[in-house]
Amino acid sequence: MLEKTIGGIILQKSSKKSKGSVIGYLDKTIETDLPTSMDNKERKIKILYIITKGNWGGAQRYVYDLATSLPKDQFDIAVAFGEGETLKKKLEEGAIRTIRLKHSQRNINFLEDFGLLFELFKLYVRERPDIIHLNSSKIGLLGTMSARFYFFLHFKLLPAQAGYTLSRSASGGRLGKRFGKAESALALNPKIIFTAHGWAFNESRSFFKKSLLKLGQWLTVLLADKIIAVSQKTREDMIYLPFVGRKIETIHNGVENIEFLPKEEARRSLWKEAKEGLWIGTIAELHRNKGVDILIEAFEQITKENLGVKLLIIGEGEERNFLEKKIKERGLVGSVLLKGFLESASKYLKALDIFVLASRTEGLPYTLLEAGLAGLPVIGNKVGGIAEIIEDGVTGLVAERGNVESIKDSLRYLLANKKLGEILGQNLKRKVDRKFTLKELVCRTLLVYNTNNE
């Protein structure tokens, strides 16, 4: 059996003719029907990742981690996205091909969304991916619709004599044993994966809008071949709907070791005027969903009891003006710093004494995992998959969603019990090291890529 190791992944050519490749990852061996460049040096698995925006958040981080972790001599990877430059810059530094989507934007605009539907269809025709991996709610719906339309047209228009086949291989996989005129059957019937980083219907909206969003996301699930939920709670939010259960699999986000700056160096870099004293902080987009306004209100009450304590907020977004006004109105100028977006923000985490994520809705936040790697005591709201990271009183403290008093009480408790905070932080670090690794994320995602449609 021929074996090659690339980037921590052991790829083996199977001796059985009916099989494709065998992928050994960590302590697992994955026997696949995916073709490998050891069988055909000119043919790689083509994966097309698509996401609505090209800024930097949890979903973009997820796409980046997957795209840059797979071995480039086995996979032909491209990432398509809309407005935003940060993701593009990071991917190009990792030698990943990027594609700009002109019509992709977060807000609903029927004209632009209709244009995006056809833009995606043309992208599939041009790229002919084996696997389409969609991320974010809007791209999930439009991406699955256009992918099904793409397959329907090709299935009807391609003549049998052209050498294409859509039959399953002898091993039960979706790929024929040969590619037929340099095209795989899989590329004509690409596997459609959608990762749910959270559901839009969990955001604060009217009942009518929530119902429409749930209908759209149910349709996404029906049209996709497989759904990856980043938390068990995300899975449970949809699992009860018809024809959904067997399609959704939970795969937690994962992180790898971070080179943290020492505490004093990080503080000097972030906030020279306030490098002494206790620092509470968060890393979050300045968006209502992240609950930064709740954190500021809770912090205001804490300052009345703990003079000199500071609040550092790393992140940028549409609520900056609103939050600046709130800070000024509450007399917190000099005590709260909106630092803005920072490249590699996680490396500054050891500047903090307590990390807080006051989100109103979440999937499975990377920032909590990174704070865990830093060994910080953490507070998180009881939303999404946060309770899967934080076991209340064991690996951190869990506060009630949208409740300023609950955040305040948790902060007060940690400030009064610093030794307990250290224990909680170390417990969380061990949990993240054991359960939420990037290697496990990549390994389990590879298994999903190889799972047959049912």
Between the CA of residue 50 and those of 80, 155, 240, 356, 372, what are the distances in Å?
5, 23, 27, 30, 29
pLDDT at site 157: 54
- The two domains 39-254+439-450 and 263-435 share their CATH topology (first three levels equal): yes
pLDDT band at 307 (very low <50, low <70, confident <90, very high): confident
Answer yes or no: is pLDDT of 451 > 80: no
Q: Which is nearest to 135 in space by CA: 93, 198, 72, 89?
A: 198
Query: Tokens standing for 227?
Result: 């759904």
Whether pLDDT at 10 is above 60? no
Matching residue, tokens 């609903």: 108
**62-113: pLDDT as tens digits:** 999 999 999 888 999 999 999 989 999 999 999 999 999 998 887 777 788 8
Confidence of residue 352 (pLDDT cuts 50, 70, 90): very high
Give Dmax over CA atoms of the chain in angstroms: 80
Domain positions in the chain are: 39-254+439-450, 263-435
Say if residue 140's pLDDT is above 70. yes
Residue 304 has a CB neighbour count (10 Å cut-off) of: 7
For residues 349-370, average pLDDT: 96
Q: May I ask the CATH class of domain 263-435?
A: alpha beta
- What was the pLDDT predicted at 226? 96
34 or 61, higher pLDDT? 61
Which tops the pLDDT comparison, 146 or 208?
146
With CA atoms as reference, report the closest residue to 407 among 440, 375, 379: 379
Given the DSSP bridges, would you call strands 9-13 and 21-25 parallel, antiparallel or unpaired? antiparallel
Q: In this predicted structure, what is the pLDDT of residue 34?
A: 52
Is the pLDDT assigned to residue 22 strictly greater than 50? no
Residues 256/437, Cβ–Cβ less than 8 Å: yes
Closest CA to 373 of 292, 264, 254: 254
- Residues in a beta bridge with 383: none
Token pair in block for residue 372: 């865990």
Q: For residue 377, give the nearest of 428, 437, 436 by alpha carbon.
A: 428
Q: What is the pLDDT of residues 323-338, one digit of tens each?
A: 999 999 999 999 999 9
**H-only helix segments in 180-319:** 185-188, 207-223, 232-236, 263-270, 292-303
pLDDT digits (tens, 9 = 90+) for 374-421: 999 999 999 999 999 999 999 999 999 999 999 999 999 999 999 999
| Average of per-residue pLDDT values in the chain | 84
Distance from C-alpha of 91 to C-alpha of 94, rounded to nearest angstrom: 5
Rg (CA), the chain: 23
The dihedral through the CA atoms of 371, 230, 73, 76 has a sign that is negative
Residues 6 or more apart from 441 whose CB is under 8 A from it?
65, 66, 251, 252, 253, 254
Please compute, for residue 337, the number of CA atoms within 13 A of its CA located in the half-sphere on the CB side.
Answer: 19
Closest CA to 278 of 262, 294, 302: 302
Q: Domain 39-254+439-450 classified CATH 1.10.357.10? A: no
Q: Are strands 2-6 and 9-13 parallel, antiparallel or unpaired?
A: antiparallel
- Give the ranges where 355-437 is alpha helix by DSSP (H): 366-373, 386-389, 404-416, 418-435
What is the predicted pLDDT for the residue at 2? Answer: 39
- 397, two tokens: 């403290």
**What phi, psi does 79 have (nearest 5°)?**
-125, 125
Flag whether pLDDT at 43 surpasses 50.
yes
Which pLDDT band holds residue 19 (cuts at 50, 70, 90)?
very low
Q: Are 172 and 451 in contact (CB under 8 A)?
A: no
Q: The whole model's pTM is what?
A: 0.84
- CA angle 320-62-184, nearest 5°? 135
pLDDT of residue 81: 96
**What are the pLDDT digits (tens) for 169-206?**
333 333 333 333 334 444 567 899 999 998 877 777 78
